[in-house]
Amino acid sequence: MGTGISALMGFFGLTSLFALVGTALVAWMAWRIVEKAGFPGWIGLVAILVSLTGVGSIVPLVLLWVFAFIRWPRDEAVGVLPGVPGSPAGGPPAGPAALPPPSQALPDRRSWRFAGATMGGEIVSLVIDGSSATYVLTSALARQPTDLSIADPSVGQPHARLLTSGARLGLEDLGSRGGTFIDGARLLPEHRARDISNARSIRLGGVALTLTRS
């Protein structure tokens, strides 16, 4: 867009100082525009400022066309939003070609499920839907929605912490006496959080739980 402005400014006989201020303003706005599209801001700045060099003012014009038609990182980041071309807000899509592309950042909505029994024979069934980033496994009564209570004397108060992140599930021992085991291997507090997304079973003290997804 700098080309037309530079040409017009010359056409109207404005001083070169005013043209310089205008170019700086355009460069600043170009910085903000490419940032909103998801590119680094300096690309927009450089695209406008090359017109000050001997390259010629055709370059920013070409870059404007390129910018208008290339893929923007913004569209990859947020997936499909209303208003984005490809998912028209009004009217059904014209055909299969108009279907929006699959979102790459779609979170995994399936929940985790721990099933087992305490040593007293009580059935344990815990569902982790990922609505919270952390959950605490404890034998005390649940005081918060993120407290998962397992009424067994071998389970600590608290015993371990579950961490959710998208399609991944983590487990961290909180220094329990009964110990935490992932597929039979001891998890120590100094191990910090371990990914148990692919684990089949965990054991908290004497309570063995099988891990499934639903």
Partner 1 sequence: MSDGGVVAWLLGLSSVLLLVVLFIHLLFALLLIIPTWRICVRAGYSGALSLFHLVPLIGSFIVMAVLAFGTWPAGEAPAGRR
DSSP 8-state class, residue 137 = E
Beta-sheet pairing, 147-149 with 134-138: parallel
Question: Which is nearer to partner 1, 32 or 186 (by Cβ)?
Answer: 32
Beta-sheet pairing, 185-187 with 207-213: unpaired
Q: Is 106 in the site for partner 1 (CB under 8 A)?
A: no
Tell me the closest approach of the beta carbon of residue 187 to partner 1, in angstroms.
31
In a 10 Å sphere around its CB, with 0-12 CB exposed, 13-18 middle and 19+ buried, how is residue 200 labelled? exposed
Rg, the chain, Cα only: 29
Binding positions for partner 1, 30-59, rule CB under 8 A: 30, 32-33, 35-38, 40-41
Question: Which is nearer to partner 1, 83 or 121 (by Cβ)?
Answer: 83
Q: For residues 147 and 194, what is the distance between their CA atoms, to the nearest angstrom?
A: 19
Question: Which is nearer to partner 1, 42 or 198 (by Cβ)?
Answer: 42
| Span of 66-74, 127-135, 183-191, 193-201 interacting with partner 1 by CB under 8 A | 66-74
Q: For residues 31 and 59, what is the distance between their CA atoms, to the nearest angstrom?
A: 16
Nearest Cα residue to 68 out of 47, 97, 92, 96: 47
| Span of 72-80, 131-139, 159-167, 197-205 interacting with partner 1 by CB under 8 A | 72-80
Contact positions vs partner 1 (CB under 8 A)? 1, 4-5, 7-9, 12, 22, 25-26, 28-30, 32-33, 35-38, 40-41, 61, 64-65, 67-69, 72-74, 77-78, 81-85
